[in-house]
Amino acid sequence: MQENTGDAANMSSENVQVLMNTLAEKAAEWGMSAVSALIILIIGLFVAGRIKSAIRKVMTRTGKLDAMLIGFISSLVYYAALALVLVMVLGSFGVQTTSLAAVIGAAGLAIGLALQGTLGHVASGVMLLAFRPFKIGDYVEAGGEAGTIKDITIFTTEMATVDNKKIIIPNGKIWDDTITNYSANTDRRLDMVFGISYDDDIGKARDIILQIIKDDERVQDTPAPLVEVNSLGDFSVDFTVRMWLKGSDYFAVKWDMNRKIKEAFDAQGVNIPFPTTIEIQKQG
């Protein structure tokens, strides 16, 4: 009886030893796989980034490709490289890539439904690239924001505001919204309104405005500038002033016109009225 008990104890000890050895071997295998996967991931991310930069540089050197197209293609190649890195990482753990492709294919519908918003941004990026409502460097209003287009990727578009804030907008939001491109056309029309007092000479005020416009070489002769009385307000006679100029001169001319017309009105005795409040005192 004691011999049987001793044999059972020995067998139990041997089983434990075998189990421990097996676990140690598996741990070593998984450890090596984890180290290998980490190395592949680090190198893969580095290589993917370098490939993206290299493609961007090569396409830029040709001088024949639009900057927006360059950004989109380089971004597309970058994410494709990341997908390849992911497959290699999984392969380092013993996952068969052929079976992995089958699994991805089977799960494609579920992934598409789960990421339909993200995939929609990709589709919108393709539409933006195909129809070209703007290009790199254009000043636009799109997706509820206004700024200069800096870059477009497969998912997002990057803008810089006039005070140089970075804005990143999903492509789907831009494509689904109204796009106003202020840089698309070379010329722009500047519309302004100036009011004078009812006591002032309309003809004199009109001549002052026209002379200031004529003296500014940035204002185009064709179409001819327009200065006409547009409305009789509660406190002023309002002129509508319209002139055509280069889009790049728009804000500079606008600011100069405001200053010059105000100074000319002051110098020649033309008053710019402002709302007044009449107080009525009750007789007690």
> What does the mean pLDDT of the chain come to?
81
Q: What percent of the chain has pLDDT over 90?
A: 39
Confidence bin at 19 (pLDDT 50/70/90): low
On whether the CB atoms of residues 252 and 174 are closer than 8 A, the answer is no
The answer to whether 140 and 180 are in contact (CB under 8 A) is yes
Query: Which residues have C-beta within 8 Å of that of residue 220, sequence separation ≥ 6?
Result: 187, 243, 244, 245
DSSP 110-158: HHHHHTHHHHHHHHHHHHHHHH-S--TT-EEEETTEEEEEEEE-SSEEE
Average pLDDT over residues 6-32: 64
pTM, to two decimals: 0.56
At the top level of CATH, which class does the domain 9-106 belong to? mainly alpha
pLDDT at 83 over 80: no
Average pLDDT, integer, range 11-34: 67
The confidence score (pLDDT) of residue 57 equals 80
Question: Please, how many CA atoms are within 13 Å of residue 110, restricted to the half-sphere of its CB?
Answer: 5
The tokens for 213 are 């416009």
Pick the CATH number of 187-267 from 3.30.70.100, 3.30.70.20, 1.10.3720.10, 3.30.70.60: 3.30.70.100
Q: What is the pLDDT of residue 111?
A: 47
Which DSSP string corresponds to 63-105? S-S-HHHHHHHHHHHHHHHHHHHHHHHHHHTT--HHHHHHHHH
* pLDDT confidence of residue 283: 52
At residue 41 the predicted structure's pLDDT band, cuts being 50, 70 and 90, is: confident
Task: Report the DSSP beta bridge partners of residue 169.
Answer: 157
The string of pLDDT tens digits covering residues 109-124 is 444 544 456 677 778 8
Q: Parallel, antiparallel, or unpaired for β 180-181 and 226-232?
A: unpaired
Give yes or no for residue 15 having a pLDDT over 90. Answer: no
In whole angstroms, how far apart are CA 177 and each of 33, 48, 180?
48, 33, 10
Q: What is the CATH number of domain 131-181?
A: 2.30.30.60
- The residue behind tokens 């889009």 is 247
pLDDT for 198-238, tens place per residue? Answer: 999 999 999 999 999 999 999 999 999 999 999 998 889 99
For residue 251, count CB atoms less than 10 angstroms from its CB and return exposed for 0-12, middle for 13-18, buried for 19 or more: exposed
State percent of the chain over pLDDT 70: 74
Whether 181 has a pLDDT exceeding 90, the answer reads yes
184/142 Cα distance (integer angstroms): 14
115 φ, ψ (degrees, to nearest 5): -110, 30
Q: Where are the domains of the chain?
A: 9-106, 131-181, 187-267
15-29, 34-48, 221-235: which has the highest mean pLDDT?
221-235
Instruction: Tell whether the model's pLDDT for residue 12 goes beyond 70.
Output: no
> What is the model's pLDDT at position 109?
46
Amino acid at 220: Q
pLDDT tens digits for range 46-67: 888 888 888 778 777 776 666 6
Over the stretch 129-168, which tens digit does the pLDDT of each residue have?
888 899 889 999 999 999 999 988 888 899 999 899 999 9
pLDDT at position 213: 96
Amino acid 129: pLDDT: 82
Residue 238: beta bridge partners? 195, 231
